[in-house]
């Protein structure tokens, strides 16, 4: 069902909704009245459109068996490392946000690059036969690295690059806009992965001081909900966000390193993975939050060919 077919949606309203990133009935059904008011719709019209969308999708209660059946459509993307896949429950999941956080050089961007290549693989090789959207906020996307990883998997390097749509975000508002625009690419190009590298860098730079903290957190919250409700859920997409860390001087025992974004990012992310640099090419991944998997950690390597299992001889 197209959004034009919903009760209360005419040609002009449909255009407004699409421009704001509401390109599917599912994304409208998951929206709040205030969100549609921000698009320029009145209270009554917003309520009517959301109700029509929810009625068409029969949104309400369902049995656990219905949920289990819906979960059968969830796909997994291989990371390139069997150990890291195992930690994540057989790979990076669609209909979920996976947060990778750690210090500089811990492997966050490398995993983002590798997943953008691996999502294009056939399903029997751990891919989803789809394309990727890569939102680059720190000028870290390197096409040469993609080509290197593609060659290692015997994929055509140029074809692999063609299947990754890169958006360079210059500030937080531009970053938010790119995520909303990504909805337009999804249907046309069979996008199955969205990488935001990194999620918080612009917000951190632009909102400094305690006086701006509440506004920053609200914007990050809306941004994360857009990723989940407008993209990941309705289109069965895997969303991977990388995140910076800071040191907490008030933590006296254990690791004082904590991710930026606080509870907002923590509660919205489905899976949270802490990455640490180890000896040489080795990296340590620790799963610290998941709705269905136990906490644990593994070792993997960042090699010239990409993400691999650590050499068992060491």
Q: How far is CA 23 from the centre of its chain?
A: 18
Per-residue pLDDT, averaged over 169-191, amounts to 93
Is the per-residue pLDDT at 256 higher than 80? no
pLDDT value, residue 168: 97
Q: Which domains does the chain have, with CATH numbers?
A: 3-56 (1.10.150.20), 71-309 (3.40.50.300)
pLDDT at position 204 over 70: yes
In the prediction, which pLDDT does 158 show? 98
Q: Measure the CA dihedral 7/13/17/19, to 10°.
A: 150
Question: What is the token pair recorded at 185?
Answer: 């690419």
User: Cα–Cα distances in Å, from 178 out to 105, 168, 193, 268?
Assistant: 26, 9, 14, 19
Span 87-100, pLDDT tens digits: 999 999 999 999 99
Residue pair 84/93 in contact by the 8 Å Cβ criterion: no
């Amino acid at each position: 069902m197209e959004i034009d077919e919903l009760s209360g949606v005419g040609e002009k309203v449909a255009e407004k909704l699409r421009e704001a990133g509401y390109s599917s009935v599912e994304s409208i059904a998951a929206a709040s009245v205030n969100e549609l008011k921000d698009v320029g719709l009145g209270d009554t019209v917003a309520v009517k459109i959301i109700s029509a969308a929810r009625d068409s999708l029969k949104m309400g209660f369902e049995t656990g068996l219905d949920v289990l059946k819906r979960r059968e459509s969830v796909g997994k993307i291989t990371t390139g490392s069997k150990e890291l896949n195992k930690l994540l429950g057989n790979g990076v999941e669609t209909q979920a946000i996976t947060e990778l956080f750690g210090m500089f050089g811990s492997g966050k961007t490398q995993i983002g690059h590798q997943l953008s290549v691996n999502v294009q693989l056939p399903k029997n090789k751990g891919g989803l036969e789809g394309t990727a959207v890569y939102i680059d906020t720190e000028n870290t996307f390197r096409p040469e690295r993609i080509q290197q990883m593609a060659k290692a998997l015997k994929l055509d390097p140029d074809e692999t690059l063609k299947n990754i749509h890169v958006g360079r975000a210059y500030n937080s508002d531009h970053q938010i806009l790119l995520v909303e625009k990504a909805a337009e690419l999804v249907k046309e190009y069979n996008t199955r992965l969205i990488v935001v590298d990194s999620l918080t860098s612009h917000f951190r730079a632009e909102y400094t001081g305690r006086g701006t903290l509440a506004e920053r957190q609200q914007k990050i919250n809306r941004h994360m909900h857009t990723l989940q409700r407008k993209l990941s859920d309705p289109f069965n997409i895997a969303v991977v966000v990388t995140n910076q860390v800071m040191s907490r001087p008030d933590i006296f025992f254990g690791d004082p390193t904590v991710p930026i974004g606080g509870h907002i990012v923590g509660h919205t992310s489905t899976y949270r993975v802490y990455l640490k640099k180890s000896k040489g090419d080795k990296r340590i991944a620790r799963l610290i939050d998941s709705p269905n998997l136990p906490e644990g950690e593994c070792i993997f390597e960042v090699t010239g060919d990409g993400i691999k299992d650590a050499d068992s001889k060491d």
